[in-house]
Structure 1
Amino acid sequence: MGRPSGPSSRPATGRRLAPPVAVVGLDCRFPGAPDPEAYWRLLRGGVPAVGERPAARGPTPSPPGGFLADADAFDRAFFAVPAADAEAMDPQQRLLLQCAWRAVEDAGASPARLAGTPVGVYIGCMSDDWLRLSAASPDGVSPRTGTGAGRSMLANRISYQLDLRGPSVTVDTACSSSLVAVHLACSALHAGECELALAGGVNIVAGPVLDEIYAQSGLAAPDGRCKPFAADADGIGRGEGVGVVALRLLEDAVRDGDAVHAVILGSAVNQDGRSNGIMAPRRASQRDVIAAACARAGTRPEEIRYVEAHGTGTLLGDQIEALALGDVFRDDDGVRERPLALGAVKGLIGHTEGAAGIAGLIKTVLALRHGLVPADPPPPGGANPRLALGSRGLELLTEPLTLPAEGCAAGVSGFGMGGTNAHLVCGSVPSPRPSGGPLPFDTRGTPSACSPGSEPGSVSAGSAGVFTLSADSPRALRRNLRLQAVDVAGRGAAEFARLCWTSNRSRAHLPYRFSAAADTPEELASRLFAAADLDADFQDAGFRDAGFREAEFREGEHAPAVAFAFTGQGAQHPGMTASLYRHSALYRGFLDEASAALEPHTRAPVRETILAGDPAVHRTGLAQPALFAVEYALARTLMELGVRPVAVVGHSVGEFAAAVVAEALDLADAARLIAVRGTLMQRLPEGGGMLATRARSAEAAALVADEPSVGVAALNGPGSTVLSGDLTALGRVRARLEERGLACTPLTVSHAFHSPLMAPVLRDFEEAASRVTSGRPRLPFHSTVRGRLLAPGEDLDAAYWTEHIASTVLFEAAARSLCAQRPAPTHLVEIGPKPVLCGLFRRIAASRDLPALAVCRGADSGARELGEALARLHQDGLDPAWDGLYADADRQVVRMVPHAFSTEWRSWRHAAQTAETAAAAPGERPPSGGLFADRVREGVREAVALVKGGRCDDLDDQLRFYDDLGFDSVMLMELKYRLEVRFPELGELSMPEMLSSLVSVESLIGYLGEQLEAAVPG
């Protein structure tokens, strides 16, 4: 037969008809391969994963095939699915739900954060086995059957459970279903219906119907193994599997730094029409769909190096497919240098029917990502000579095929039993952008040589690595910690920050959390292993004793309420926050902003003084502006990272930065005030001093009453008082204190702050302050001048700031006020260059039990300390805005080990009910008295357990239907039906009458007992 002619026999070349689509995430489970990495190993190994059918699948004997080991397992607790709902769900729904979750995470996105967004879901399937099983079971049909076993619910279940608002479509075109689903997903992306689409397919062999169809049609392989294009090909061997890909337009993926597995360049779908039979393939239609896909991709035939064929291993199917491929790719014009390589994954895993297309697509995507197409198993009996593959420009892939890094394309075919055909053209990730700039990744999904900060062995400057992981239970968290620990231990330093950023972005923030700041993969792996190995009955104290505070498990039901506490003068030191300035662009920008605001009012630029490590920072005229600048920058950095304070408190000059955060002062006014304040105090004559003592407030006040040049500077807590004033007078006070056995410590200061010696500057400062606009705090402002929360009408005006200079710092009172506010803070974060207030908070009873975190811990503090504060807050329920913690070059997705779901809960199909349900024979009366009551109690408890899920032995008769058991209207209707089956003597029960008795299990038992007494006369 000559080669058909016509306009569709060869793909048109030239301009691509639609923008390429990036495969940004994927997940799969196939026989012998529980995840994509295992699937790749299976493909590389080339050993078919065909075996005996699990006993749970149906009656024996049944033909062998490719089966999943644990298709009945489902992590229902993770998805908060009640047991009864999970039991009614088609295992295909369960598998898809877990697979979709992992595909989204692989795309570098958190599934939880997609809730409410227009994400599309397109799922291919062709099996109704579960519905048939349910209908065949005596108690298999219930109100849950429609949502549990309906094929339309496969896509809808994902959309519902993840709260996705885009198109949600289940596709059934038989064996081409999942490839058609991918085509529709790409079309939706092109049309702007969604920016992210999940597409895939699933197949579980739960019943014998298709076995019978294949057998009676002469399509079944006796040994259960597909043999694509082989001389011994003798039919279909069935297989199971599930796969999902996450898709975005390539342009969007590149813009957002997504890691891309491969690219879909074009796709097409058509139909055989009226062929030689509805199950018979048509050569021309297959040829046309391949040609159309190539034309839409703008790809020439010689650019297609490999095709993942449909390859069922049936004589007619293989022959028609080979003819169609030859029509498109045969080299009649001397253009193709090498034959087209041909493969089919069905030879390894069987014909996965509704998931066949996605199995082939994921194989091709992995091959493009790795730059290698694995060889297929040797065809039994060799290649089928009747196909004349060589003369058609085709060759079976019996050896691994190395793909070029660029300009490589591969095709994927899927042909449905009813005649719906699909073909996709895929390509490796292009290294140059259309504009000539570099992509941030290469074909393997790793940083390219032209990426910033990608030099071997280097860690990008400006990155603090905080690795986060969470789960729905402590056991699940430990299970995943172990997997991540093994993976992290094998990572290189160059991708460490990217790995941490990916964990922040892609892992849902579930109740039980692990967070750890680390500098190297080795350090992080050690922490992960240690946390994973803790005993199941862990206690918080155990973590602290082990030194793994970052690894605490906490149930973060509510986000932390964080109060900012701003440190006062004395915490400053040369070079403070210099490391953070170098390594955090976010902090650098805010410190520059504060320094610029101060520059008109200070003799020396504050930023340069700080960064140079100049001891002049201790001079009052510079110390106060420098502290303000650092505290403003630290607070704004935390706020940009998602830490929003619910209240503020400031110790002495710390109140100026607190006032800016509370929006009572703008930055320019606060900068002017703090600079004037420091300058005026610097001009005062030296000679004053300050004395820390354990005297309590009343005792301290009595001691200074006779010393007019000494005042109580600060009341910081129980037994923590600071006196300030003239040195000679302070000496007399100190002597009296030591006579009473109270220790005293002189402080190194230049002036006697918060003392009567400040009086000479008050008039000049008040004049300057009067020119600044006063304001009212928008956040609760716990004043250390007033020792309480400022009232709604109180302004931070010139009078307040003037009083602030010489008045006592009432820190203890302000801390008590802070902890008494409603809602009360759950965490205290000290904003300053080193921790001072954290220790004071621990001395005050009201704040003693609150976590007090320091952003800076001393001279070398930098991004690590900032990361540790965020890690602790994340453990306790905060979801930070992590991006600001990382340099631009580190905000790129890298592949992580996928989430490992629990396999403890398992359910295959409805168990037949064996309880007696027949009515009493005519003339016979049911047992009376105690036996009659036992029957009612047993029947009600059994029906409630069936509806709710669980064992009737676990039911307490006092449980209430609404408050305790969570019954809704659908569950009540199912309960009514089951009671009618269990007690046929009653006929149809009246729901309005039942409602008054549906208070508890006990009340329902009483009601039905009365109904039975009335229905069966004595």
Structure 2
Amino acid sequence: MTDGPDRRRAAMTDGPAYGDGVAIVGIDCAFPLARDTDAYWELLLRGGDAIGEVPPERWDPAAFPAADGAARAGLDRGGFLDGADVFDNEFFSVPPREAAAMDPQQRLLLHCAWRAVEDSGVAPGALAGSGTGVYVGVMGGEWGRLHLGDYDRVTPQLGAGSSAGMTANRISYQLGFTGPSMAVDTACSSSLVAVHLGVGALLSGECDTVLAGGVNLVMSPALGLVYHQLGLAAADGRCKPFSLHADGIGRSEGVGLVVLRRLADAVADGQRVYAVIRGTAVNQDGRSNGITAPNRWSQEQVVATACKRARVEPREVAFVEAHGTGTALGDTIECAALGSLHAEGRDEPLAIGSVKGNLGHTEGAAGIAGLIKVALALHHRIVPASRFADRENPQLRLSQRGLRLLKSPLRLPPAPVVAGLSSFGMGGTNAHAVLGSAPRPAPRTTARRARPGAGVFTLTADTPAALIRNLTEQADAVARRPRTSAAALCRQSNRVKTGLPYRFSTAARDTEELAAALREAARGGLPEQVAHRPWSLPTVAFLFSGQGAQYPGMTAALHQDSHTYRQALDAADAALRPYTDTSVRDRLLSAGSGDDDAVAGELTQPALFAVEYALAATLTALGIRPAAVLGHSVGEFAAAVTAGVLTLDEAAHLVATRGRLMHALPAGGAMLSVQAGPDAVRQLLAEEPDAHLAALNGPRDTVLSGTAEALARIAETLREAQIRVRDLQAPLAFHSPMVRPALDRLRSAAAGTEPKPPEIPVFSTRYGRLLDPAERMDAAYWADQAESPVLFADALADLETVCAPTHLIEIGPRPQLLPLAGRAGLGPGVEFLHPAPGPEAGATDLAELVARLYRAGLDPDWERLYDPDSTAGSPEKLRGYSFSTAHRYWTAPARPDAEPAERPRPTATQPRPASAAPRASDPVSRDRDPVLAAVVDAVAEVGSYPLEQVVATARFYEDLGFDSVMIMQLKDRIEARLPHLGEVSVQQLLPALRSVGTLAQFLGGHLTEGVGA
């Protein structure tokens, strides 16, 4: 057997090709006194002590009177998670019976996995079906030892719930991952070995995303007694790494997971990178001084191998998170190994420390606790001081070995930094990782923006109560931020906080505004228009405004705010320029700044078309695709482009020609708005040959067109009849015979187009109905359309009949058609929206429109809502999902002198209250439907559900979390309750297992058939 440096060199292998490395893109954890990653970092920075008394649900220290000294410390004190018994089983559709039988470590990991994926900038549901890998370090099996020995109470749920392998498998199953899924037990190094395996899977191409980490719960004092008998237990229950007072191990708990991606993939997808894993290695002590004793040469070897794979010289490492248990032998050997490798060629001693000084020894989670500490230190560019560093152990000879303990935080330079991390298992499996700081993003040069962009903040949850809870959490987190633009925060919420049934969204410009909106929504109890569980998508129709909606400088604010709108208006301007000999866009944006006539005259219609095309293109780019379009007069040109009838260039040519021809017509025409139906003016029009019906906009909205003199006489008569009239600011008599001199040239211009069949239904205001597939919007159509009355009311009524829209969106510079639609007597429930409802309208109005449609069930293309410049940089960090704490599942281990029969079974200590039940509420009438009552009783018994939660509409798999084993148990219990049912096979039952109600209907029919036979 080789020894010393020769053995070390023999073990150094190149290993996998790390390339640019593996990025840590998501983190979630929970440790004693640290409920999440932020709290963990705060605990480390302040040098907090997480050791406390044993929680009452674990064990009673007084039940062990023979213990004393270090053994007493292991029984009385340790690091314990707050709420380790909490599990939101309803979120994961896990029945209460199964939740109570699950190892609490599995439950902790499910919460942690969801939040870690969120932290990576991905909605967890988006990874369902992917080959994401899961690698979990877990040490021992205390849950199984506490329960499986009571043979009378063994169940299938307890069998699966006690399996160590299920710690990883639960995550893969619940989140729908199909990649490798495995639990790793190498004792104290388990979780860092799990990370090593996950890194290898990424580098080999087996996975594109990996969750890796570990978990540890102290469910009994057994291992503490083992440490005492080995001489490894600390008298005060605390680890004191490298300290003069180090006297052994104090046990602790924790759970942590990181989300890993290949660095190139993470950068390409715009994910936040906390740190980069540049190399890892795992080895074994082999046959040395005993299976539980460390081996210096193996430790040197594993560190050297990891450095070589990382292409890093040991002297380049700035600090090392050591294993550092605080045992005399372990600390001595580790310092010797680190000093041998890292001391040579350094300008300053290598800084070392161990998080075990804060937490205690988290055993199966120790490696991930250290990894997260290193990643956060590199991310924040500061290494926390080490607890118990004030009086180092002189026997370690730290200074002679080129090492030092951090007595105060170490600030890292802005240049790239490399760090190391060690984790060693009691059985001799050693792991080491080399991490580097994240690459800095390339600098961006951006023009200054006059106003910050607005965004839509989204939040989803599994129940209305959960939505309120998460709104409160997010409001508190946002309120702690400085007042800045909310765009980047909103964009991250769109990526992460979507996918669950109950939705919230709000538009916001800055964080102060956002925090207030979140608080207001939570305080208001989420009315239906805010919290919505959509079962179908909204049906949207676009209404394109006609002439008269224009004004100087229209949509200038939106042009300034919205990158997508700017692009679309630029496209319209480019299409119009050959036919207008000027930039309509530039003229449009200059209006309102001393040049209010910039788009008057022949440019009015092209300018209106450009705005409407750009608005429609912006909405469709956002994923708001209309089920139908309807254009009022000149608005039909933009409607035709949106429907795919005309190309942008064809419509630009036609509308520019139309505007020029109309402007050239003789003056003298006028238009009159009448607040009455056509019957009120029919006789007057018969008496005035120079007046004509121009538009039928609604039951009491009519527009007349003709000479100014004729319309003046009609107006006087109507006023005498107490009918309101209003002169329209129209330059001529549109939609009347007075435009005929322009029609031949308009028809000639339109002859050059090649209209296509609509891709989206077009409701023609020329015909007042849905355009027939055989009808073409050709030259004759456009010529007739300019002279004929606008049949808006008829077209809108036909649109409502055919499409039944849930939302009408007006496409124009301000509301013109929506007030008409509001007076048209449409069916209830139709919402009216406008992306730019006036001169000051900008990004906030557009964002609010998107927010309302999202609440109604639309899933927009969020990226198009944001200007890339306004959301540049590292993605914002959001608070993780806040799970319900209503349910607690735990078990009390038996006293040493108790009989096995006294050992309690796992139970839900806080059953779900009826008020929180959910998804649907249809109480069962036991008298009227005894079959349904029997099914409900059986379902409640199999899943340990409260009766009030088992409603007829509850789905077996999605809502109640049933599996094949539970189905078999359900069948047995139903047959016992319905003895006249006869033989019904599982195959017969399967088609009926859609919901509790459908099963009861099937069984009721089966019983009826049996009686009839």
Distance change (3 Å), C-alpha of 1:860 and 1:947:
same
Partner of 1:861: 841
2:503 is equivalent to residue 513 of structure 1: yes
Partner of 1:416: 425
Matching residue's letter, 1:912: R
Q: Which residue among 395, 400, 404 is the counterpart of 2:413?
A: 404
Q: Which residue among 360, 364, 376 is the counterpart of 1:354?
A: 364
Distance change (3 Å), C-alpha of 1:358 and 1:589:
same
Distance change (3 Å), C-alpha of 1:7 and 1:634:
farther
Partner of 1:897: 879
Partner of 1:831: 811
The whole-number CA distance in structure 1 between the counterparts of 2:209 and 2:881 is: 20
Q: Which residue among 539, 545, 559 is the counterpart of 2:537?
A: 559
Distance change (3 Å), C-alpha of 1:94 and 1:681:
same
2:347 is equivalent to residue 337 of structure 1: yes
Q: Secondary structure at the match of 1:821?
A: helix
Cα distance per residue 1:225-283 (max 9 Å; x no partner)? 22323344443322111111122233333344332222222111122223333333222
Partner of 1:697: 678
Alignment of 1:944-963 (within 5 A): 944-951=939-946
Distance change (3 Å), C-alpha of 1:101 and 1:761:
same
Q: Secondary structure at the match of 1:239?
A: coil
Whether the 8 Å contact between 2:93 and 2:960 is mirrored in structure 1 is: no
The whole-number CA distance in structure 2 between the counterparts of 1:556 and 1:65 is: 47
Cα distance per residue 1:197-225 (max 9 Å; x no partner)? 22211112234553454445444445432
Whether the 8 Å contact between 1:371 and 1:404 is mirrored in structure 2 is: yes
TM-superposed deviation, 1:847: 5.2
The whole-number CA distance in structure 1 between the counterparts of 2:268 and 2:948 is: 57
Distance change (3 Å), C-alpha of 1:189 and 1:107:
same
Matching residue's letter, 2:890: W
Partner of 2:253: 240
Whether the 8 Å contact between 1:28 and 1:99 is mirrored in structure 2 is: yes
Matching residue's letter, 1:305: A
TM-superposed deviation, 1:38: 1.0
2:482 is equivalent to residue 500 of structure 1: no
TM-score, normalisation: structure 1: 0.86
Whether the 8 Å contact between 2:94 and 2:961 is mirrored in structure 1 is: no
The whole-number CA distance in structure 2 between the counterparts of 1:302 and 1:906 is: 49
Distance change (3 Å), C-alpha of 1:285 and 1:494:
same
The whole-number CA distance in structure 2 between the counterparts of 1:220 and 1:941 is: 52
Whether the 8 Å contact between 2:237 and 2:249 is mirrored in structure 1 is: yes
Q: Secondary structure at the match of 2:276?
A: strand
Alignment of 1:368-387 (within 5 A): 368-378=378-388, 382-387=391-396
Cα distance per residue 1:87-114 (max 9 Å; x no partner)? 3333222222221222222222222222
Alignment of 1:443-522 (within 5 A): 450-452=443-445, 463-493=453-483, 496-522=486-512
Partner of 2:628: 647
Alignment of 1:785-800 (within 5 A): 785-800=766-781
Matching residue's letter, 1:898: G
Whether the 8 Å contact between 1:559 and 1:877 is mirrored in structure 2 is: yes
Q: Secondary structure at the match of 2:24?
A: strand
TM-superposed deviation, 1:293: 0.8
Cα distance per residue 1:148-188 (max 9 Å; x no partner)? 33322222322222223433332222211111121222222
TM-score, normalisation: structure 2: 0.86
The whole-number CA distance in structure 2 between the counterparts of 1:672 and 1:360 is: 67
Partner of 1:870: 850
TM-superposed deviation, 1:451: 4.3
Whether the 8 Å contact between 2:670 and 2:731 is mirrored in structure 1 is: yes
Whether the 8 Å contact between 1:201 and 1:242 is mirrored in structure 2 is: yes
Partner of 1:973: 968
Cα distance per residue 1:917-944 (max 9 Å; x no partner)? xxxxxxxxxxxxxxxxxxx999998764
Distance change (3 Å), C-alpha of 1:957 and 1:28:
closer
TM-superposed deviation, 1:420: 1.7
For the aligned residue pairs, the C-alpha RMSD in angstroms reads 3.6
Q: Secondary structure at the match of 1:74?
A: coil
Distance change (3 Å), C-alpha of 1:990 and 1:762:
closer
Partner of 2:1011: none
The whole-number CA distance in structure 1 between the counterparts of 2:850 and 2:1003 is: 52
Partner of 1:531: 521
The whole-number CA distance in structure 2 between the counterparts of 1:838 and 1:680 is: 29
TM-superposed deviation, 1:692: 0.6
The whole-number CA distance in structure 2 between the counterparts of 1:327 and 1:138 is: 53
Alignment of 1:7-406 (within 5 A): 8=8, 18-58=19-59, 60=61, 61=63, 62-136=75-149, 140-145=153-158, 147-331=160-344, 335-378=345-388, 382-406=391-415
The whole-number CA distance in structure 2 between the counterparts of 1:949 and 1:647 is: 50
The whole-number CA distance in structure 1 between the counterparts of 2:954 and 2:886 is: 27
Q: Which residue among 843, 854, 863 is the counterpart of 2:823?
A: 843
Distance change (3 Å), C-alpha of 1:57 and 1:964:
closer
Whether the 8 Å contact between 1:14 and 1:298 is mirrored in structure 2 is: no
TM-superposed deviation, 1:287: 0.7
Distance change (3 Å), C-alpha of 1:90 and 1:645:
farther
The whole-number CA distance in structure 2 between the counterparts of 1:713 and 1:138 is: 88
Matching residue's letter, 2:472: R
The whole-number CA distance in structure 2 between the counterparts of 1:763 and 1:1000 is: 70
Distance change (3 Å), C-alpha of 1:976 and 1:232:
farther
TM-superposed deviation, 1:559: 3.0
The whole-number CA distance in structure 1 between the counterparts of 2:855 and 2:607 is: 32
Q: Secondary structure at the match of 1:398?
A: coil
TM-superposed deviation, 1:902: 1.8
Matching residue's letter, 1:570: G
Runs (5+) with no aligned partner, structure 1: 432-438, 441-449, 541-548, 915-935, 1009-1018
Cα distance per residue 1:632-672 (max 9 Å; x no partner)? 11111111112111211111111111111111111111111
Whether the 8 Å contact between 1:303 and 1:407 is mirrored in structure 2 is: no
Matching residue's letter, 2:783: T
Q: Secondary structure at the match of 1:705?
A: helix
The whole-number CA distance in structure 2 between the counterparts of 1:229 and 1:326 is: 14
TM-superposed deviation, 1:52: 2.2
Cα distance per residue 1:389-430 (max 9 Å; x no partner)? 333222333332222232322111111222221101112234
TM-superposed deviation, 1:757: 1.5
The whole-number CA distance in structure 1 between the counterparts of 2:398 and 2:122 is: 44
The whole-number CA distance in structure 1 between the counterparts of 2:349 and 2:766 is: 85
Q: Which residue among 716, 720, 728 is the counterpart of 1:747?
A: 728
Matching residue's letter, 2:6: G
Matching residue's letter, 1:851: E
Whether the 8 Å contact between 1:12 and 1:294 is mirrored in structure 2 is: no
The whole-number CA distance in structure 1 between the counterparts of 2:453 and 2:813 is: 20
Q: Secondary structure at the match of 2:421?
A: strand
Whether the 8 Å contact between 1:200 and 1:244 is mirrored in structure 2 is: yes
Matching residue's letter, 2:945: G
Cα distance per residue 1:378-397 (max 9 Å; x no partner)? 269x4344433333222333
Distance change (3 Å), C-alpha of 1:516 and 1:943:
closer
Paired residues, what number? 945
Runs (5+) with no aligned partner, structure 2: 64-74, 893-903, 908-930, 1008-1013
Q: Secondary structure at the match of 2:148?
A: helix
Whether the 8 Å contact between 1:690 and 1:723 is mirrored in structure 2 is: yes
Matching residue's letter, 1:790: L
Q: Secondary structure at the match of 1:517?
A: strand
Matching residue's letter, 1:464: A
Matching residue's letter, 2:343: R
Partner of 2:5: 5
TM-superposed deviation, 1:1000: 7.3
Distance change (3 Å), C-alpha of 1:261 and 1:791:
same
Matching residue's letter, 1:37: D
Distance change (3 Å), C-alpha of 1:863 and 1:355:
same
